[in-house]
Chain A
Amino acid sequence: AQSVTQPDIHITVSEGASLELRCNYSYGATPYLFWYVQSPGQGLQLLLKYFSGDTLVQGIKGFEAEFKRSQSSFNLRKPSVHWSDAAEYFCAVAGGSGNTPLVFGKGTRLSVIA
């Protein structure tokens, strides 16, 4: 069974600083990987996804993620954080094909300070 680990529960960064959120997955075959963002009391919005091909994936809001098979990782990055990026971020994996349910990590809460 697939699983996702987000090692950092809470991260605080200064506005304008770079950001990296870690995600490690466990799955036997090639996984489908996703990063979602959630504002308080809201649903989840997809930032980016990886299925195959180029291991560096570009998403919305200036985010990118890199798939590293050798490290079973899919870390999310942003070169310069804005105060509006403060939210909770979830990494997710889907195995198999088509409409299989996503398995989520426990999330990383991002705080942005001036």
Chain B
Amino acid sequence: DGGITQSPKYLFRKEGQNVTLSCEQNLNHDAMYWYRQDPGQGLRLIYYSQIVNDFQKGDIAEGYSVSREKKESFPLTVTSAQKNPTAFYLCASSDYRHNYLDTEAFFGQGTRLTVV
């Protein structure tokens, strides 16, 4: 089955430790995204990548880092510089079409990160 896989589903870390969240897609999509979700805040964009070896900061990139070495993978590292890392993290990917129509973002099942 094609789709987006985020792992792990639940993650616990001690304060001050870096942690990496995995996101893999087998949809052959060019673009991938990371969003953070907090209660009552909707989804806020952390980073996105439209092509391998390139990525852009979103609205709340501070304290996060990403890489895009392969088309299928877009891991997110939550660093110790992130002031409030406990949240639900969602990864998405989308298909790029030259006519810019009929595109949509597909989401993974999310990773709930708790920092204690």
B85 contacts chain A at the CB level, 8 A cutoff: no
Query: What CA separation (Å) do A101 and B58 show in the bound complex?
Result: 9
B95 CB to nearest A CB, Å: 8
B interface secondary structure, majority = strand
Query: What CA separation (Å) do A36 and B107 show in the bound complex?
Result: 10
B33 CB to nearest A CB, Å: 6
When the two chains form the complex, which single residue of B44, B100, B112 contacts A97, counting CB atoms closer than 8 Å? B100
On whether the beta carbons of A98 and B100 are closer than 8 Å, the reply is: yes
Query: Number of contacts between A and B (CB, 8 Å)?
Result: 64
0/1 interface trace, chain B 52-68, chain A, CB 8 Å (1 if under): 00000010000000000
Tally chain B residues at the interface, Cβ within 8 Å: 33
When the two chains form the complex, which single residue of A34, A98, A99, A101 contacts B45, counting CB atoms closer than 8 Å? A101
- What is B's interface to A at a CB cutoff of 8 Å? 4, 30-31, 33, 35, 40-45, 48, 50, 58, 88, 90, 92, 94-97, 100-110, 112
Known: A43-B107, A45-B107, A51-B101; 13 extra A-B contacts, CB below 8 A, are A34-B104, A34-B105, A41-B88, A41-B110, A42-B109, A43-B108, A43-B109, A46-B105, A46-B106, A49-B104, A99-B94, A102-B45, A106-B41
> 16 A–B contact pairs at CB < 8 A?
A43-B90, A43-B110, A49-B104, A51-B102, A52-B101, A98-B31, A98-B100, A99-B96, A99-B103, A101-B45, A102-B43, A102-B45, A102-B92, A104-B35, A104-B42, A104-B43
